[in-house]
Amino acid sequence: MASTSVNAEANRTAQIIRDTKETKIKVELNLDGSGQADIKTGLAFFDHMLEQIAKHALFDLTLYCDGDLEIDAHHTVEDCGLALGDAIKEAIGDKKGVRRFGHAYVPMDECLSRVALDLSNRPYCVWNVKFSIDRLGENMETELFGHFFHSMAQNGGLTLHCENLYGENNHHIVESVFKACARALKMAVEHDPKAAGLVPSTKGTL
Q: What is the pLDDT of residue 64?
A: 98
Phi, psi dihedral angles at 10 (to 5 degrees) = -60, -40
User: How far apart are alpha carbons 146 and 142 in whole angstroms?
Assistant: 8
* Residues 84, 189 contacting (CB under 8 angstroms): no
Domain spans, the chain? 2-195
Phi, psi dihedral angles at 193 (to 5 degrees) = -60, -20
Q: What is the pLDDT of residue 8?
A: 39
State whether CATH 3.30.230.40 applies to domain 2-195: yes
The predicted-structure confidence for 109-163, as pLDDT tens digits, reads as follows 999 999 999 999 999 999 999 999 999 988 899 999 999 999 999 999 999 999 9
- Residue 76: exposure state from Cβ atoms within 10 A (0-12, 13-18, ≥19): buried
Q: What is the pLDDT of residue 32?
A: 97
Helices (H), the chain: 44-57, 74-92, 143-156, 170-189
Name the least confident of 24-28, 122-126, 187-191, 201-205: 201-205
Q: What is the pLDDT of residue 137?
A: 87
Phi/psi zone of residue 181: left (φ > 0), alpha (ψ -120 to 50 degrees), beta?
alpha
User: How far apart are alpha carbons 150 and 144 in whole angstroms?
Assistant: 10
Q: What is the pLDDT of residue 9?
A: 43
Q: What is the pTM of this model?
A: 0.94
DSSP-based three-state secondary structure for 98: strand
| Percent of the chain residues past pLDDT 70, beyond the cut | 95
